[in-house]
C-alpha cells in the first residue's frame, strides 16, 4: 500500500509539472524577418499586396503545389480571403484574410488555421524606402498559445520553424522582383 502511494504521488507530481511550468511561460510569440529588395517601394508594395502573388514566394505554398486554393473578394483589398487545403500536415487547412492596408507602408493579415490544429494568428508585411530603388520588406508573425498548451513553446522553436520559412520566402520574393 505504501509503494502504491509513493508511485501515485510521483505520477501526480509528473503530471502537474507541465501545468505549473505553463504558468510562468509567455503565451505570445513573435517572429520577424526582413530583406532589402533592389526595386522601388511602390513596385514592391503593389506586387505583395496581391495575396495571390504569395503563391509565387511563400514557402508553405511551395511545400504542396497540389493544394486546393479558393478565393473570396477582391485581391489586394481589405476583406480578401485566400483559403487552402492540403493533405500535407506541414501545410494543413486554413485561410488568410487581408485585415488592413496602409498604402505603401504595411499590410495586416489574419491567419486562421483549421488543420492539423486550430489557431488564429496575425501576420504583417511592412515596406520602408531605403532610397528610390531599394526597399526593406519586413515579414512578421504574431501568435499565441493558451495555457497549458504554451508549455509546448519550450520544445518548439518558433523562431527557427517560422523564421526559416519567412527568410526563404523573402529571398524568393527578392529574386522574383529583381529579375523581372
Q: Which of 112, 106, 110 is nearest to 98 (CA)?
A: 110
Angle between helical axes of 41-48 and 158-178 (0-180°, round to 10): 120
Share of the chain above pLDDT 90, in %: 50
* Cα–Cα separations (whole angstroms), residue 10 to 7, 15, 23, 67, 160: 5, 9, 21, 47, 34
Q: Residue 4's pLDDT is what? A: 77
CB under 8 Å to 136, separation ≥6 — which residues?
Answer: 34, 35, 36, 37, 127, 128, 130
Dig out the grid coordinates for 31 from the structure. Answer: 517572429
pLDDT, residue 138, reads 96
Kind and range of the H or E element at 145?
Answer: none
φ, ψ at 22 (rounded to 5°): -60, -25
If DSSP codes are grouped into helix, strand and coil, which group holds residue 42?
helix
pLDDT for 38-66, tens place per residue?
999 999 999 999 999 998 998 878 888 88
pLDDT of 151 higher than 60: no
CB neighbours (10 Å) of residue 149? Answer: 14
Between residues 7 and 111, the one the model is more confident about: 111
Q: What is residue 99's predicted lDDT score, i.e. its pLDDT? A: 97
Q: What is the pTM of this model?
A: 0.77
State which H helix or E strand residue 29 sits in.
strand 28-37
Architecture of domain 27-178: 2-Layer Sandwich (3.30)
Amino acid at each position: 500500500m505504501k509503494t502504491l502511494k509513493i508511485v501515485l504521488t510521483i505520477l501526480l507530481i509528473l503530471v502537474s509539472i507541465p501545468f505549473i511550468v505553463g504558468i510562468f511561460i509567455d503565451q505570445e510569440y513573435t517572429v520577424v524577418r526582413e530583406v532589402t529588395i533592389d526595386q522601388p517601394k511602390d513596385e514592391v508594395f503593389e506586387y505583395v499586396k496581391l495575396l495571390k502573388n504569395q503563391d509565387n514566394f511563400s514557402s508553405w505554398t511551395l511545400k504542396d503545389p497540389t493544394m486546393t486554393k479558393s478565393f473570396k473578394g477582391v485581391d489586394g483589398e481589405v476583406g480578401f480571403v485566400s483559403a487552402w487545403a492540403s493533405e500535407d500536415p506541414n501545410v494543413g487547412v486554413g485561410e488568410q484574410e487581408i485585415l488592413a492596408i496602409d498604402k505603401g507602408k504595411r499590410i495586416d493579415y489574419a491567419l486562421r488555421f483549421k488543420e492539423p490544429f486550430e489557431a488564429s494568428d496575425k501576420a504583417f508585411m511592412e515596406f520602408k524606402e531605403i532610397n528610390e530603388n531599394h526597399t526593406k520588406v519586413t515579414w512578421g508573425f504574431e501568435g499565441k498559445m493558451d495555457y497549458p498548451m504554451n508549455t509546448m513553446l519550450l520544445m518548439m522553436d518558433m523562431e527557427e520553424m517560422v523564421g526559416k520559412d519567412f527568410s526563404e520566402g523573402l529571398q524568393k520574393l527578392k529574386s522574383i522582383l529583381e529579375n523581372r
